[in-house]
Structures are given as structure tokens and as C-alpha cells.
């Protein structure tokens, strides 16, 4: 029996996915639920498992190709048909022409790592014409335009009307990167290249993985004064982080307030119960769930911080969906979301945080896992940072930063006398959007977070 493998639908709003890497070759034996390829969308990277036991008999799309949801991308022979598939041979050529994507500037959500762009040759700008459309849709009648082609059209000022005139040589007449580059070469004079600055020689192409970033453009001459350097193109997730952070700073009126919390009782509580918690739950008890709980407590008291902005309207969310910043092994960041965090106790928050972090690092997240956040929490103190001024995670309006927990001498009043004690202290910051959150409201919310932290103990927290 021949079983079709289709491009999965990874979210309600997603209509296509891009193949990052095939982990199996034609002729390889595969088991049910074994990963056969990795794909990326504008939201997240994920692995696609085999639906059956069998042999991979056909691959219909190559790496870096964008495919509509529901289309067949491979075929698996199972049962008696598996015996008829030839075994894989060494040096199998790619099943289809590989096209490296250019950066997708309009993407608004952080995703996991994927292939980096190949920079197209610079061309002279072409004046816009009246009566033309420069917003290129994914589908135009019977024609389908990949994110790569739409971005190239945008960067080279090609209208929808002009794009329709380009002859496509790809699958079902689609326009490929080569088609676009040939058209651009004949459309306008290529800008003469200036002498490239002296840089360290990059790795040879043969040594670069198929999905690794490849730099083919020119570097700003201003960097020559620094001497020798290497050029490392941003991978796709770093480009998206860059775009997301820059857009946030230009959108929101960022203000940060900082307070200090005595978390001595939390440290004692965690130290006492961490072993039994690990034995019962199978996960480590970290400090993040305590701070997440404090954020939930404060947002219940001050719901006007748990809001979004839509033009001139304020969106007041009825649920508290915490976005928890999670570092990936490659140094990038992703922000999965705990939905309805107000319905969870501290143990429930710990489970959710561990689950999302584990799936983020193993590329098992779904697009819905990183959407719908209403307030963010980021731990800037992991490597000893005292406090930070985090950037707001759009379209939210506030984010809490957790500083390092340190022992410090603190003055406490005991029975009317000032005493110097050694306590575990942590700075907590909140960055907020001053367009809709005033300083008084932010200060009240921050004070509520500190109050919640300082009142966590064996009598108030059940583990």
C-alpha cells in the first residue's frame, strides 16, 4: 500500500510550510512516528513524523521549497509494497532544486531556527506606477507565490501586475528564485559592484550544510576600519527576532520600573521540597513558576496591565496567558504561552513551563503554542544579571524581568529596632507601554508582584 505524506496544517491561519530538511532518503526504512522531515512556517519549526511503518519510496519536494497545506510531499510504501522499493545509495542527489529563502520581513512571531537567506544581486530601484498593486498575495487566482518570491518582489518593487508576466518554470508553473533572478537581470541594469573589503575567507561551500547561512553580498565599507572580520549571515529566527524587537521599540512607548523583592522564604521553600517535587512530578522545581505565580496574582488585581492595543482601542483580555521566554540551544529565543494561567496553581505552572520549554528545544511546538500571550515573563538573571529592561513582546503592553537571586545585607526593622540581616534578594522589573499604562498603574502592579513574592511560604504555597 502506498501512503501519502502531506504538508500538515500547523495553525488556523497558516496555509503553507517550507521544508527545512529531509531526515530520510528514498529507500530508507522508517517506523511509525519516526521523524522523516523538518518544516518551518511563519510561526514555528517542527518535525513531521511518518504515519506508518514502511519504506520512503518517493520525495516530491526538495529542501527549502514552500508547499501548500494538504499537498502530498512524499510517499511511503508499506506492507508488501515496501519490498519493491530499492535500497538507498550513497551520494543521493537532492530530489528537487533547492531554493534558499530570503528574509521574511512581515513575519511577526518568533520561530525556531530555519534556513537563512541568499542575498539577491542589488538592482536599481524602479519607480512605482499608479494603478498597480504592490501587496503580493500568496495566491492569485490559479497562481501560487511562495514567501521567497513575494519577498523578492517586495524588495525589488515588483507589482502584482508585473509579477503575473513572469514565466515560471517550477512545479505547476510556479516562479522560482532562478526565474526571478533572470527576470531582474533583464529588467534593469545591475548596480556595479564595489571592491569588497578584506575579510577572512569563509568556509568552502562543500563544507557548509545545505541549510546553513551563505553570504553572497557585500559588506558596508564602514567596517573596513576595524580590520579583518568574518561575515556570518543571520539565520531565519535571528532575522525574525531582529524585526520583532525593532518593530516593538518603534511601536510602544517603552518605560521600565524596577523594584527589589525579598525571596528568602521562596529559596527555603524550594530547597526543602525540590527533591520530593522531582520524585513526584519528574521535573525540576525552578524559581520561574514562583515568579509566574506572582505575575498572575498581580494581574488579577490590576487587569488593566493585561491588555493589548489595536489602533485607538484597548483590548482587555479576560484570561491571563503568560508568555515565557525560553532560550534555545543555538542561542536564539522563543516565547511559548501558558494559556489561562490564572486557572493553574504553582505546580500546574511548573508543569506547563517545563512542557513548553522541552517541546521548544526539541522542535515539538505547534504554532498555537506561541500565540495568544497577554503578558510576558523573562528571566534575565540566569547568568547573574541583576536586572534588565526587556523589550515588550508585541502586541502585548507589558513584560516582567526576573533578576538574579543573591544574598545581600538588608536593613530590617525587628521589634522597633533596625537590624542588618543577610537575605536572598532579587530585582524585578516591568517594562510597560506608556501609551496605555501610566506610571502609577505600572508601579502598583510591580508592588503587587513584590508583595506576592514576599508572602510565599509553606503556609501560602502548596507543593
- Active-site residue set: 434, 438
Angle subtended at Cα 60 by Cα 57 and Cα 65, rounded to the nearest 5 degrees: 140
Residues 6 or more apart whose Cβ sits within 8 Å of residue 449: 259, 261, 291, 294, 295, 297, 298, 400, 428, 430
- 3-state SS assignment for residue 181: helix
* Calpha distance 428→377 (Å, rounded): 10
Q: What is the CA radius of gyration of the chain?
A: 26
C-alpha cell at 395: 502586541
**Torsion-angle region of 245 (φ positive above 0: left; ψ -120 to 50: alpha; else: beta):** alpha
User: In DSSP terms, which residues pair with 37 in a beta bridge?
Assistant: 22, 48
Task: State the CB neighbour count (10 A cutoff) for residue 205.
Answer: 8
- Contact of 373 with 306, CB cutoff 8 Å: no
Omega of the bond leading into 158 within 30 degrees of 0 (cis) = no
List own/partner pairs for 21-24 with CB under 8 A and 24 or more apart: 21/63, 21/210, 21/211, 22/59, 22/63, 22/95, 23/47, 24/56
Is 391 exposed, middle or buried (CB count within 10 Å of its CB: 0-12, 13-18, 19+)?
Answer: buried
Using DSSP bridges, classify how beta strands 375-379 and 398-402 pair: parallel, antiparallel or unpaired: parallel
Amino acid at each position: 500500500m502506498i501512503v501519502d505524506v502531506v504538508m500538515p496544517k500547523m495553525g488556523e491561519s497558516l496555509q503553507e510550510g517550507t521544508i527545512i530538511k529531509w531526515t530520510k532518503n528514498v529507500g530508507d526504512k522508517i517506523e511509525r512516528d519516526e521523524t522523516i522531515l523538518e518544516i518551518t512556517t511563519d510561526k514555528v519549526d517542527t518535525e513531521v513524523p511518518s504515519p506508518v511503518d514502511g519504506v520512503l519510496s518517493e520525495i516530491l519536494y526538495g529542501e527549502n521549497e514552500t508547499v501548500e497545506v494538504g499537498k502530498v510531499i512524499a510517499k511511503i510504501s508499506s506492507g508488501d509494497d515496501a519490498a519493491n522499493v530499492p535500497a538507498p545509495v550513497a551520494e543521493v542527489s537532492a530530489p528537487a532544486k533547492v531554493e534558499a529563502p530570503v528574509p521574511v520581513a512581515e513575519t511577526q512571531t518568533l520561530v525556531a531556527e530555519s534556513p537563512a537567506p541568499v542575498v539577491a544581486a542589488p538592482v536599481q530601484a524602479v519607480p512605482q506606477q499608479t494603478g498597480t498593486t504592490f501587496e503580493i498575495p500568496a495566491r492569485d487566482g490559479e497562481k501560487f507565490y511562495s514567501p521567497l518570491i513575494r519577498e523578492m518582489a517586495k524588495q525589488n518593487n515588483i507589482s502584482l501586475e508585473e509579477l503575473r508576466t513572469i514565466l515560471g518554470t517550477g512545479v505547476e508553473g510556479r516562479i522560482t528564485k532562478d526565474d526571478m533572478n533572470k527576470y531582474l537581470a533583464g529588467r534593469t541594469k545591475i548596480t556595479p559592484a564595489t571592491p569588497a573589503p578584506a575579510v577572512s575567507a569563509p568556509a568552502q561551500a562543500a563544507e557548509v550544510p545545505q541549510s546553513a547561512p551563505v553570504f553572497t553580498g557585500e559588506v558596508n565599507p564602514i567596517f573596513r576600519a576595524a580590520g579583518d572580520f568574518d561575515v556570518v549571515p543571520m539565520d531565519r529566527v535571528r532575522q525574525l527576532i531582529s524585526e520583532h524587537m525593532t518593530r516593538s521599540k518603534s511601536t510602544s512607548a517603552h518605560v521600565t520600573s524596577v523594584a527589589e523583592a525579598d525571596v528568602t522564604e521562596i529559596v527555603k521553600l524550594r530547597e526543602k521540597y525540590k527533591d520530593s517535587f522531582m520524585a513526584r512530578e519528574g521535573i525540576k522545581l525552578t524559581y520561574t513558576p514562583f515568579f509566574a505565580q506572582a505575575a498572575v496574582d498581580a494581574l488579577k488585581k490590576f487587569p488593566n496591565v493585561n491588555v493589548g492595543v489595536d489602533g485607538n482601542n484597548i483590548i482587555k483580555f479576560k484570561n491571563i496567558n503568560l508568555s515565557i521566554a525560553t532560550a534555545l540551544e543555538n542561542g536564539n529565543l522563543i516565547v511559548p504561552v501558558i494559556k489561562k494561567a490564572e486557572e493553574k496553581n504553582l505546580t500546574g505552572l511548573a508543569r506547563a513551563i517545563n512542557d513548553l520549554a522541552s517541546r521548544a528545544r526539541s522542535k515539538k511546538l505547534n504554532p498555537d503554542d506561541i500565540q495568544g500571550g497577554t503578558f510576558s515573563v523573562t528571566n534575565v538573571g540566569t547568568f547573574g544579571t541583576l536586572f534588565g529592561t526587556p523589550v515588550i513582546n508585541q502586541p502585548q503592553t507589558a513584560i516582567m524581568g526576573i533578576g538574579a537571586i543573591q544574598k545581600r545585607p538588608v536593613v530590617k526593622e525587628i521589634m522597633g529596632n533596625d537590624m542588618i540581616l543577610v537575605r536572598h534578594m532579587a530585582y524585578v522589573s516591568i517594562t510597560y507601554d506608556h501609551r496605555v499604562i501610566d506610571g502609577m498603574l505600572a508601579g502598583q502592579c510591580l508592588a503587587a508582584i513584590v508583595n506576592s513574592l514576599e508572602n510565599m511560604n509553606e503556609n501560602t504555597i502548596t507543593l
